[in-house]
Homo-oligomer: A and B are copies of this chain.
Amino acid sequence: MGTRKQSSTYTRNEKLIINCNMSYAVHVIGGRWKLLLLDKIRKGTSRYSDLKKEFSYISERMLTLQLKSMEQDGLIIRNVFAEVPIRVEYTLTPAATELIPILDLLSTWGSKQRALQGDNS
């Protein structure tokens, strides 16, 4: 991933925070496009080009960065088919599958909360 300055307060604090399981979980799904991608992949195995097509507003750099990060964090599996042209498919890991219902709860909460906030601010 991006090279990090191990000595910075920023990075030290991040490590500190990630000791908290809750923060760790949020950290793992916190990248800008991760939830969108997870949501798409959960609905069916997707190849790189599918994602690229569906999310044309995500730059290819971000797309690969987020996918790689999720792969490293054990959320998705990357399957390479040595065809020509090459084919790469992404699937959820069991761990990510367990996460989905929690995300659904978050989604419901978010919807309610947004409505509440809309009312009075």
The residues of A with any CB-CB pair to B shorter than 8 Å are 13-14, 16-17, 20-26, 28-30, 32-33, 35-36, 39, 57, 72-74, 95, 98-99, 102-103, 105-114, 116-117, 121
Contact = CB atoms under 8 A, between A and B. Distances in A.
A16 B32 CA distance: 11
B121 A25 contact: no
How many copies of the polypeptide does the oligomer hold?
2
Summarize A's interface: helix, strand, loop or mixed. Answer: helix
Contacts of A108: 21
A8 B36 CA distance: 21
B95 A116 contact: yes
A36 B24 CA distance: 12
Contacts of A113: 24-25, 28, 73-74, 95
A114 B16 CA distance: 15
A13 B57 contact: yes
A103 B22 contact: yes
Contacts of A73: 113, 117
Contacts of A74: 113, 116-117, 121
18 contacts: A13-B57, A17-B32, A17-B33, A21-B110, A22-B35, A22-B110, A23-B36, A24-B110, A24-B114, A25-B113, A26-B26, A26-B30, A28-B110, A73-B113, A95-B116, A98-B112, A99-B109, A102-B109
